[in-house]
Amino acid sequence: MFRITSAVFAALLGLGGFCATAQATGITGEAGLGMSNQPYDPTGSRYETVPVPYFDLDWGDVSLSTDDGLTWSALKTNGFSAGPFINYIPGRNSNGTLRGLHNVSAMGEAGGFVQYSPADFWRIFAFVGHTVGANRGQGGVLGRVGGEVGYPLGLGIIGSSELAANFADGRQTQTFFGVSNKDARDSEFRPYKASGGLQNVALTQNFEFPLAAKWSLVTSASWKHLTNSAADSTIVKQEGRVNQGEVQAAISYKFN
């Protein structure tokens, strides 16, 4: 549900002004702020508790969410939609148990998506993108396919479940999971050359609890299982986790 992004987090600094103008500009959906206990990086080398934004907003055919980033449904027909998207991928400072490894710069992701959602309570989707703005030799192609279904639970409580598979090419996987010979000399990790393919599968369970007329408590719990080359990384085997969890909660305000 949540993904910490410094770009989106910076936007929260202007959330007060945004709330005052959202109604006039036709924006609908929810926005808020919460906390997340999550892996520091994709290897799961350690966990951190950080403030996170929560966005699930629509403005006509343009949407902003903390899962999918900024999307534009340029084509829409009979429940199908497709178009471009941009998102943000946090980097990694190699300190603590990762000391000696290469740092990973924060980077953007740009690409296209297709989605089928004949009703508001379920969807299936596919995203394919390429990183932009990464340091030389870092970044690559990413893909994500999955489905989500929502359901009422009574007393105004809404639940949703999502299952997604995440893919990456060899260069993108090497960016976070690989260990070069130089890295190995400077760190405690054995050399490792990562390859592309299915990187992880993730199951997410969300709940939204009404608090007042326009306020809600939004919670999320996720389980992620690393696969293939990512799971075999020497970083994961020595310091990381093949199975990773995330828990988040946010207070959100709903716009009509």
pTM score of the predicted model? 0.88
Query: Is residue 239 one of the residues assigned to a domain?
Result: yes
Does 24 reside within a domain? no
- Which residues form the domain of 136? 29-255
Q: Is residue 22 part of a domain?
A: no
Tokens of 183: 């890295």
* 90 three-state secondary structure: coil
| Residue 230 is assigned to a structural domain of this protein | yes
Cβ partners under 8 Å of residue 154, min gap 6: none
pLDDT in tens, 56-69: 999 999 999 988 99
CB 234 within 8 Å of CB 192: yes
pLDDT(72) > 70: yes
Of 125, 160, 161, 162, the closest CA to residue 143 belongs to 125
Domain count, the chain: 1
Q: How far apart are CA 32 and CA 16, in angstroms?
A: 10
Q: What is the pLDDT of residue 5?
A: 45
Q: What pLDDT, in 10s, does the model give residues 185-240?
A: 999 999 999 999 999 999 999 999 999 999 999 999 999 999 999 999 999 999 99
Cα–Cα dist 1/201, whole Å: 15
Report the CATH number that the domain containing residue 251 is assigned in CATH.
Answer: 2.40.160.40
Q: Is 97 left (phi over 0), alpha (psi -120 to 50) or beta?
A: alpha
Asked if residue 159 belongs to a domain, the reply is yes
Residue 17 falls inside a structural domain: no
- Residue-wise pLDDT for 139-158, tens only, equals 999 999 999 999 999 999 99
Q: Please, which residues have CB within 8 angstroms of residue 174's CB and are 6 or more apart in sequence?
A: 193, 194
Q: What share of the chain in percent tops pLDDT 90?
A: 86
Q: Indicate whether 163 belongs to any domain.
A: yes
Interior CA angle at 110 toward 113 and 195, to 5°?
Answer: 90
Residue 112: inside a domain, yes or no? yes
